[in-house]
Amino acid sequence: MNKSSLKLNIIKIFVATMTLAAPSFAATIQVNSVTGAWQNVQGGAGVVFPVPNEVRWGTVTPTSAKSGYRFDGDAPPLFPVTIDVPFSLGLMTNYNQPIPSGSGIDSADLKTTVNMTIDGNPINNLHFTYTFLHDETPNIPGSCPVGSSSVCDDIEKLLNNTAQSDTFNIGGVDYTIKVIGFQIGNQQASQWLTPEGGTNNAHLLGIVTKSIRVPEPATYLLLGSTILVAMVAMRRKKCAVKI
């Protein structure tokens, strides 16, 4: 066996060993369900929860005449996700109705739960919570916030509209689901106005990223040992042939 053949065989062994050590990059990712529940509601009167993902307030009837918040997840049905491509997790709706003064809430927490799978591996109960401050403004001309488009727009403010994330390892690859936050249009929104008698919508966006873990020193030692053993075996074979 000549030197060229020996080198070629060593390279083949190295590539094969590295292939075995390296994790698979292709993965099928899908979001199976996204739900939201309102909790820790502060202030307000006539507060009711028609369904877990909706809260209404105001001392008026029927429920549809109350102001409120609602969150609708985008799954089910499940939908596929592409690495590094943002996607919508759900839609928040604000309802601004003319309710009696003093019956508006001060704040509420939205707890979202995401269930997904990666290559058939379930990743369940990923929780992301957002706190909303609410200003049920009085419908008095001259006291409305700047930018009002109605008699008096209500103000919704997010205390923590920043990225929240959770990381998990599948087959040697770290996958991170990052909930980017709420956006209106293409803009990250920490505060917005909802016109009197109208609604406003904000999408909750997410993104999945991945990173490869750097092999431990022991892994490199194993690779080096494998190549060394192969070199010794080949050299012995070469010497045996010469004899």
Check whether 38 has a pLDDT greater than 60.
Answer: yes
Check whether 3 has a pLDDT greater than 70.
Answer: no
Is the pTM for the entire model greater than 0.75?
yes
Q: Of the ranges 56-60, 62-66, 222-226, which one carries the lowest mean pLDDT score?
A: 222-226
Check whether 110 has a pLDDT greater than 70.
Answer: yes
Check whether 21 has a pLDDT greater than 80.
Answer: no
* Distance separating alpha carbons of residues 134 and 138, to the nearest angstrom: 13
Percentage of the chain modeled with pLDDT above 90? 63
- Residue 233 pLDDT level (bands cut at 50, 70, 90): low
* Distance separating alpha carbons of residues 60 and 47, to the nearest angstrom: 10
Q: Which residue has the tokens 């192969």?
A: 230
Whole-angstrom CA distances from 200 to 47, 111, 181, 194, 196 are 20, 19, 16, 6, 10
Check whether 168 has a pLDDT greater than 50.
Answer: yes
Residue, of 163 and 225, whose pLDDT is higher: 163
Per-residue pLDDT, 27 = 85
Residue 230, sorted as left (phi over 0), alpha (psi -120 to 50) or beta, turns out to be alpha
Q: Of 23-27, 129-133, 138-142, 167-171, give the range with the top mean pLDDT.
A: 129-133
